[in-house]
Amino acid sequence: MKNNNDPARTKISDYSPQISRDTHVQYVKGVGPARANLLNRMGIETIEDILYYFPWRYEDRKDLNKISSMKPGNHETVLGQVVSADIITTPRKRMKIFELTVSDETGFLKSRWFNQPYLKKYFQKGQKVILRGTVKGNPYTGSGLEMENPDFELFGSEDTLIHTSRIVPVYKATEGLSPKQIRTLMFNTIKAYSFIVEDYLPEEVLKRNNLKPLGWAVKEAHFPEEFIDVSALNRGADPAHRRLVFDEFFLLELGLAVLKKRENAEKGISFSAKDGLVNKFLNSLPFKLTNAQKRVLDEIKADMQRPFQMNRLVHGDVGCGKTVVALVSMLIAVENGYQACLMAPTELLAEQHFINIHRMVEDLGLKVVLLTSGRKDKPVDDISGGGAQIVIGTHALIQETVQFKKLGLAIIDEQHRFGVVQRAALRRKGFNPDILIMTATPIPRTLAMTLYGDLDIAVIDELPAGRKPIITKIFFPSQKDRVYSLIRRELSLGRQVYIVYPLIEESEKLDLKSAIEGAEALRKIFPDMKIGLVHGKMHHDDRESVMAMFKSGDIAMLVATTVIEVGIDVPNASLMLVVHSERFGLAQLHQLRGRIGRGGYDSHCLLLAYPPFSEDAGRRLKAMETTGDGFRIAEEDLAIRGPGDFFGTRQSGLPDLKIANIVRDIGALERARKEAFDLIETNPELDRYPLLKEMLQRKWMGRLELIKS
Ligand code: ADP
Ligand code: MG
């Protein structure tokens, strides 16, 4: 692994040709200690890092426009010479405007920047400057062209090669280092050092996927010479980007393939197929399993019977019945004399699971305990002594202090929070239990291939019969009366209603209605109705008693924060009002909505939204209105949030995707995954490809090693 804190390792004299990809940027020509610092802050430490710091967009400066040929309304780039640069103060508002006039041989162009008087110091008369912005006609004179707040770049006579007459790359700048300075630095770095880029992909992979050489791709992605369609470059659809994107996916998937191969070979418990407890439990249920539940359970059973460790992900839409599947899996472990645990991401969710599961297995004579860090009475003795067969808890379960007598199965109920590294930690605890991961809502296929690419995946793609589609509609505050009358109608039919609020207490900053205040207001609007309130800050017992009253029908209306997201199951509830729905995430809204529509009644989800809200919020609400299908919602959620947000790679333990985008580049992802998994199948140790193997280790920063132990 590289060690950038050790200058001795990378120090080279000015005369030494001993440059490698690990050489610290400070030794790059044109980078002194000060610049090196700035670059470090941008995450650039080595020559390799700098070569892989790609532009975020490209600008076509092949033939810069002449001023006279610019058209109002167009986005244009021009090169002009400074005629005047003045600060003007508006008489009334006393706003400072910096006004710049430039000319070329065809005319004049005026530009304005508001409240940035400091800009004046950059512009001397006669200085050449490139301006990029939207062109306006002057509204007062009707003649003359103007730009407001254009991007600008000062232009020196020696700059022709790098900054104009070509497609130029535009880099994310940082304070103290302008896009132009970075461009110059890049130009020189590429010229001097791009030779260090080695192609590590197997020939056949390159051929099959029609990929260009890596060194070429790196150079072209910075300073396109051969491929000059600027819009394709900006879409990442050119040959250089195709190569770089493929490589990122390939190295990611190759690591996942290594992990998967290794995990599947990990010695594990071979449970035997005793069905006594399981059948007793299934017979006690008031329903039959769906075909999808049966199929997934068969897959899990087969995994558990193999003498290897199970590493499986189960996902499916809200209400598809994941809890039952989890429980049956636990019962298999218990029947074989092992303990099983279920780990939830929050204390509240752990409590909900505990209550549900406790109720479901009560008659089987099993001991179920709850362990969270917040609870005083921790059942550690029951766990270490083996008295508790089923343990529900939070991450506290994998802490040092908790010792299981004989853990056979760990179920992780998560929302993209339990990454590769944490899973390895669970194993390093000394247990080697079978592992089953469950997500609350479906995950898009692309995410499954990346975040969970090392797991076996099972999908419950069927809802129990009798679920009616939920009618979802957006309402604005001006339509509150309509909302109340819909609620009243539902109540008069004997149904029950959820009112969901985003926060517990009023936040002054966001001015959100709190659940507490909301309950007060609703009691005035519906004086004859029993209204209950639950939120996260309530004592656990109080919360439970309110929930129980709602379940039994003593309470007609339950006002709640998102604590009801998971676990609560009241078939008679047929309407949900989500207040400030614009504040909720899409997956969360869908998960909430899954609380209704369980009783065979027509159900309604009312999304009360307070404008103004962002475009993304609008898209989320629209998606809720348009579809009830959790799989489609999941795809839309990914499209809105963008892959970066989902990834949280630091936490997931996966290498960064800098240039590839799992939404945009899905085709490349699929091809790269196939190639990577095929390669590991035929050459698991990668000993035929030493360069590739080394690159893989670098990309995963030793994590593949770490996980081996
Ligand atoms: P989720 O997958 O969202 O966790 P749950 O496990 O909470 O779903 O199940 C939702 C509801 O459906 C529960 O009331 C559960 O008892 C019920 N359920 C589960 N499986 C079936 C089935 N096969 N037929 C009918 N109802 C079922
Ligand atoms: Mg097994």
pLDDT digits (tens, 9 = 90+) for 223-265: 998 887 899 999 999 999 999 999 999 999 999 999 888 878 8
For 619, the token pair is: 């898209």
- pLDDT > 80? residue 81: yes
For ligand 1, atom 11, name the residue with the nearest CA.
Answer: 319
Where residue 701 falls (left for φ over 0; alpha for ψ -120 to 50; beta otherwise) is: left
pLDDT in tens, 635-645: 999 989 877 66
Q: Which residue has the tokens 């997931």?
A: 652
- pLDDT > 50? residue 420: yes
What is the per-residue pLDDT for 425? 64
Calculate mean pLDDT across residues 670-694: 94
Kindly indicate the confidence band of residue 52, based on its pLDDT and cuts at 50, 70 and 90. Answer: very high
For 686, the token pair is: 């990668």
- For the chain, residues classed under CATH 3.40.50.300 are 236-465+631-709, 470-627
- pLDDT > 50? residue 509: no
Give strand pairing partners of 103.
Answer: 81, 108
- pLDDT > 70? residue 419: no
Q: Which residue has the tokens 């004997």?
A: 494
What is the per-residue pLDDT for 436? 93
What is the per-residue pLDDT for 511? 45
Q: Which atom of ligand 1 is nearest to the CA of 288?
A: 23
- For the chain, residues classed under CATH 2.40.50.140 are 63-165
Least trusted range by pLDDT, from 171-175, 287-291, 497-501: 171-175
Closest CA to 271 of 223, 215, 221, 337: 337
For ligand 1, atom 14, name the residue with the nearest CA.
Answer: 569
- pLDDT > 50? residue 8: no
Cα separation, 560 vs 499, whole angstroms: 6
Calculate mean pLDDT across residues 126-141: 81
Kindly indicate the confidence band of residue 453, based on its pLDDT and cuts at 50, 70 and 90. Answer: confident
**SS3 of residue 93 by DSSP:** coil
For ligand 1, atom 18, name the residue with the nearest CA.
Answer: 321
DSSP state of 416: S
Ligand 2 centroid vs 309 CA: distance in angstroms? 5
Q: Which atom of ligand 1 is nearest to the CA of 321?
A: 6
What is the per-residue pLDDT for 534? 86
Cα separation, 626 vs 552, whole angstroms: 33
What is the per-residue pLDDT for 418? 62
What is the per-residue pLDDT for 350? 87
What is the per-residue pLDDT for 618? 97
For 600, the token pair is: 């065979």
Kindly indicate the confidence band of residue 709, based on its pLDDT and cuts at 50, 70 and 90. Answer: very low
**For a substitution probing ligand 1, which of 289, 323, 354, 414 has the most ligand atoms within 8 Å of its CB?**
323
Calculate mean pLDDT across residues 78-86: 92
Ligand 1 centroid vs 598 CA: distance in angstroms? 9
Which strands form 368-371's sheet, in the order they lie side by side? 368-371, 390-393, 339-343, 407-414, 434-439, 311-316, 456-460
**SS3 of residue 614 by DSSP:** coil
Kindly indicate the confidence band of residue 508, based on its pLDDT and cuts at 50, 70 and 90. Answer: very low
- pLDDT > 80? residue 138: no
Least trusted range by pLDDT, from 142-146, 516-520, 685-689: 142-146
Kindly indicate the confidence band of residue 159, based on its pLDDT and cuts at 50, 70 and 90. Answer: low
Q: Which atom of ligand 1 is nearest to the CA of 324?
A: 6
Give strand pairing partners of 137.
Answer: 145
Calculate mean pLDDT across residues 347-371: 88
What is the per-residue pLDDT for 3? 42
Q: pLDDT averaged over the chain? A: 87
Q: Which atom of ligand 1 is nearest to the CA of 326?
A: 6
For 330, the token pair is: 């636990």
Kindly indicate the confidence band of residue 144, based on its pLDDT and cuts at 50, 70 and 90. Answer: confident
- pLDDT > 80? residue 688: yes
For ligand 1, atom 17, name the residue with the nearest CA.
Answer: 321
What is the per-residue pLDDT for 158? 65
Calculate mean pLDDT across residues 87-96: 85
Calculate mean pLDDT across residues 83-110: 90
The pairing of strands 167-170 and 57-60 is antiparallel
Ligand 2 centroid vs 273 CA: distance in angstroms? 11
Kindly indicate the confidence band of residue 504, based on its pLDDT and cuts at 50, 70 and 90. Answer: low
Ligand 1 centroid vs 322 CA: distance in angstroms? 7
Kindly indicate the confidence band of residue 605, based on its pLDDT and cuts at 50, 70 and 90. Answer: very high
Give strand pairing partners of 154.
Answer: 129
Ligand 2 centroid vs 415 CA: distance in angstroms? 24
Cα separation, 25 vs 23, whole angstroms: 6
Biggest alpha carbon distance in the chain?
A: 92
DSSP state of 287: S
Ligand 2 centroid vs 271 CA: distance in angstroms? 6
For 261, the token pair is: 């191969």
What is the per-residue pLDDT for 707? 47
Which of 648 and 27 is assigned the larger pLDDT?
Answer: 27
CATH of 236-465+631-709, one of 2.50.20.20, 3.30.1050.10, 3.80.10.10, 3.40.50.300: 3.40.50.300
Q: Residue 64: phi, psi to the nearest 5?
A: -65, 145
Architecture of domain 470-627 in this structure: 3-Layer(aba) Sandwich (3.40)
- pLDDT > 60? residue 11: no
Which run of H or E residues covers position 242?
helix 239-265
For ligand 1, atom 10, name the residue with the nearest CA.
Answer: 319
Ligand 2 centroid vs 408 CA: distance in angstroms? 9
Q: Which atom of ligand 1 is nearest to the CA of 594?
A: 3
Ligand 2 centroid vs 368 CA: distance in angstroms? 23
- pLDDT > 90? residue 579: yes
Q: Which residue has the tokens 């103007």?
A: 146
- pLDDT > 70? residue 431: no
Cα separation, 80 vs 70, whole angstroms: 13
Q: Residue 660: phi, psi to the nearest 5?
A: -85, 150
Give ligand 1 pocket residues (Cβ under 6 A).
287, 289-290, 293, 316, 318-324, 464, 569, 594
For ligand 1, atom 19, name the residue with the nearest CA.
Answer: 321
Sign of the CA dihedral with 417 first, then 421, 422, and 426 last:
positive
- pLDDT > 60? residue 364: yes
Ligand 1 centroid vs 468 CA: distance in angstroms? 14
Ligand positioned closest to the Cα atom of 360: 1
- pLDDT > 90? residue 542: no
Cα separation, 273 vs 261, whole angstroms: 25
The pairing of strands 557-560 and 573-579 is unpaired
CATH 2.40.50.140 fits 63-165, yes or no: yes
Cα separation, 554 vs 361, whole angstroms: 25
Ligand positioned closest to the Cα atom of 300: 2
pTM of this prediction exceeds 0.75: yes
Q: Which atom of ligand 1 is nearest to the CA of 318?
A: 3
Which of 285 and 429 is assigned the larger pLDDT?
Answer: 285
Ligand positioned closest to the Cα atom of 324: 1
Kindly indicate the confidence band of residue 482, based on its pLDDT and cuts at 50, 70 and 90. Answer: very high
Q: Which residue has the tokens 């939120």?
A: 535
Rg (CA), the chain: 31
What is the per-residue pLDDT for 154? 84
